[in-house]
Amino acid sequence: MAEVGNSLKLVSCNIEGDRHLPEVVAFVKRETPDIVCFQEVYQENVQNLSQKFGMYSYFFPMMKIEKPNAMNFSLHGLWGITIFSRLKPSKVDCFCYTGRKDNIPVFDDTNPNSPNRVLVWVELEKNSSVIRIATTHFTWSPKGQTTSLQLEKFTILNSKLSAIGDLVLCGDFNAPRGKEIWSLLSAKYQDHIPPEVTTTIDPKLHRAGDIQYVVDALFSTPEYEVTSVKVVSGVSDHMGIVGTVSLYSSAPGAEKR
């Protein structure tokens, strides 16, 4: 059994920059999570979101959007991953598995893989437990097909994940459930997206319409119990993922590291 009182409510979502901010804010306020993992966030919006949520914030850039582009993304500069947390983490870390942290590329709309790719994780102390949450926005591929680049980057990412140890892993993997990358992850971790979910792409908000891809993930190592998982539409072009996370009382992390 998981320890009572040591659970955290988690939200993860690819928010598509500044296109859906009122819906994103309403979603978070409605769900009242303890930790939020967002992909596709402009740095200039982080402080305002942090204040609205009443949370600490940690931003990690992947690219800069500085010139007009075919995606019509706003020219607001740094864009990347942000973790918001009600608890101040005891540890915050980042691993760059594509590119370099000290070289943030300018977005190239002819190459969806022009951004750096990062894995971000935090450790949160809740009563007697230390819960580790990680998130990423993985390498893109066309039409949901597995590519050699994805396999190459997954090898690097997977090695780092193994080194980190027990965790909950969420984010946008750009790799549909049923394809090779997702299958490699679900062979290693427990897949907590309900089996009846057929897509995490919002058909009303995504430019591609109704595409049946589950690409937004919630995985964990066996040390964690993940319950009350749901997928929420009307937030962004990707649906929001919600779940409650806790450590089983016999897990090593159930005692403070």
Q: What is the pLDDT of residues 48-69, one digit of tens each?
A: 999 999 999 999 999 999 999 9
Q: How far apart are CA 140 and CA 149, in angstroms?
A: 9
Counting Cβ atoms within 10 Å, is residue 39 exposed (0-12), middle (13-18) or buried (19+)? buried
Mean pLDDT value across the chain: 95
pLDDT given for residue 28 in this prediction: 99
Q: How far apart are CA 100 and CA 78, in angstroms?
A: 15
Q: How many helices and strands (H and E) does the chain possess?
A: 4, 12
Greater model confidence, 146 or 256 = 146
- Find where tokens 């000290």 sit: 102
Give DSSP secondary structure letters for 159-214: HHHHHH-S-EEEEE-SS-TTSHHHHHHHHHSEE-S-TT----B-TTTSTT-S----
Query: Phi and psi (nearest 5°) for 42?
Result: -80, 135
- Residues 232-243 have a mean pLDDT of 98
- What is the 3 state secondary structure string of 26-94? HHHHHHCCCEEEEEEEEHHHHHHHHHHHCCEEEEEEEEEECCCCCCCCCCCEEEEEEEEECCCCCEEEE
- Domains parsed from the chain with CATH numbers: 8-254 (3.60.10.10)
pLDDT given for residue 256 in this prediction: 54
pLDDT given for residue 70 in this prediction: 87
- Whether pLDDT at 2 is above 60: no
Instruction: Supply the pTM of this predicted model.
Output: 0.95
Q: What token pair was written down for 151? A: 């396999």
Q: How far apart are CA 67 and CA 88, in angstroms?
A: 36
What would the pLDDT profile of 162-220 be if each residue is shown by its tens digit? 999 999 999 999 999 999 999 999 999 999 999 999 999 999 999 899 999 999 999 99
pLDDT given for residue 1 in this prediction: 47
pLDDT given for residue 6 in this prediction: 86
